[in-house]
Amino acid sequence: MAGNTIGQVFRVTTFGESHGVALGCIVDGCPPGLEISEADLQVDLDRRRPGTSKYTTQRREPDEVRFLSGVFEGKTTGTSIGLMIENTDQRSQDYSKIADRFRPGHADYTYHQKYGHRDYRGGGRSSARETAMRVAAGAIAKKYLKQEYGIEVRCYLSQMGDVTIDNVDWDQVEQNPFFCPDASKLDALDELIRNLKKEGDSIGAKLTVVANNVPVGLGEPVFDRLDADIAYALMGINAVKGVEIGDGFDVVNQRGSEHRDELTPSGFKSNHAGGILGGISSGQEIVAHLALKPTSSITVPGETINVDGETVDVVTRGRHDPCVGIRAVPIAEAMVAIVLMDHLLRHRAQNAGVETATPKI
């Protein structure tokens, strides 16, 4: 049973390979009547798009998304929405040398073993290019959440290599190509990337996603908890190796008396929980962190095997990002938005008639 779908009520199913004809997806379950245009989606696609700064890959794709269905006279109809981005800058000649060898750290080996056959051009289906459709679908969710419930989902770079970022000024995030919320760290980031490019190497990153104005009550215990579904969605982004909610791994060395967020008539005193209790949103800010590995597409030569099991060298010659974490910012937002959208609709299904109990703090 293949796994190209995310969501139960707000369902996103994607298709497409890095160097195929097109990328696309179907968004099923979007409420009718939402005003939406391709321009609404293009904003986030452009934030993810390669070639926009010297810090990211120079592959140039306009990444223009088109609605193929589900939107009529500027509004969603409630039927399935077809989306497509045609691949234009394919340069498949770049990849001929790696058709028969498994790039270490990539999915070449595992796809080959699983399917017995794979599209080797640019990583095929396993390429991060596929995430463009997640961003497009996520933009629909973001618009609905914002417009109908005032919910905002935003993300920033919280660490790259040893450059940690503690001051969060949301106004800064969109002002620099790193999505960095602290202007004082921009020089350090610039230097880090420049050195990596010189060395032909790459670096990992940590991102932080925050959703605010999320109503209390979203999440479905005991398995489809909001935190469990956020973990699933974020871990499912290419290169992600870790996910935290709220204090995350810091809880290992915390006391119960320190961690538990006490309640007062005017709200919670703290937010160690990251806005989720028992798998259900508490009405506080939802806070999640994710760790992205350094890309394996580097010019430092590496050792691997080919499909015949013989030792061969591998050197990536294509255009790649020194830190894939940067462009993952809109992807992480999209994934959390899709999860929240799905849980919002799921909650409505079962609880439409319920009077929300007082006090709602």
Q: By CB under 8 A, what part of segment 263-322 binds its own copies? A: 263-265, 269, 272-274, 277-283, 291-298, 300, 302-305, 307-311
**Cβ closest to its own copies, residue 176 vs residue 295:** 295
142 touching its own copies, by CB under 8 A:
no
Binding mask 41-80 for its own copies (x = CB under 8 A): -------------------------xxxxx-xx-x-xxxx
- Least Å from the CB of residue 344 to its own copies: 9
By CB under 8 A, name the one of 29, 51, 62, 177 that touches its own copies.
29
- Partners of 14 in the β-ladder: 25
230 touching its own copies, by CB under 8 A:
yes
93 touching its own copies, by CB under 8 A:
no
- Least Å from the CB of residue 224 to its own copies: 3
Looking at residues 187 to 216 of the shown chain, list those that interact with its own copies (rule: CB under 8 A): 196, 201-206, 216
Contacts of 19 (CB under 8 A, 6+ apart): 87, 90, 91, 92, 95, 119, 121, 122, 124
CA nearest to 341, candidates 173, 98, 151: 151
**Cβ closest to its own copies, residue 171 vs residue 296:** 296
Interatomic CA distance for residues 208 and 159, integer angstroms? 9
Looking at residues 117 to 136 of the shown chain, list those that interact with its own copies (rule: CB under 8 A): 117-119, 124-126, 130
Q: Are strands 75-76 and 65-67 parallel, antiparallel or unpaired?
A: unpaired
Tell me: is residue 66 an annotated ligand-binding position: no
- Least Å from the CB of residue 288 to its own copies: 10
Q: Which amino acid would we find at residue 5?
A: T
Contacts of 76 (CB under 8 A, 6+ apart): 30, 31, 32, 33, 34, 36, 70, 140
Rounded to whole angstroms, the maximal C-alpha distance in the chain is: 68
**70 and 27 in contact (C-beta within 8 Å)?**
yes
Contacts of 304 (CB under 8 A, 6+ apart): 101, 102, 103, 104, 311, 312, 313, 314
Tell me: is residue 319 an annotated ligand-binding position: yes
Torsion, Cα 268 217 33 46, to 10 degrees, reads: 60
Tell me: is residue 257 an annotated ligand-binding position: no
By CB under 8 A, name the one of 28, 44, 61, 333 that touches its own copies.
28
By CB under 8 A, name the one of 259, 271, 318, 319 that touches its own copies.
259
327 touching its own copies, by CB under 8 A:
no
Q: Which strand (E) or helix (H) includes residue 334?
A: helix 324-351
**Cβ closest to its own copies, residue 171 vs residue 265:** 265
**Cβ closest to its own copies, residue 171 vs residue 256:** 256
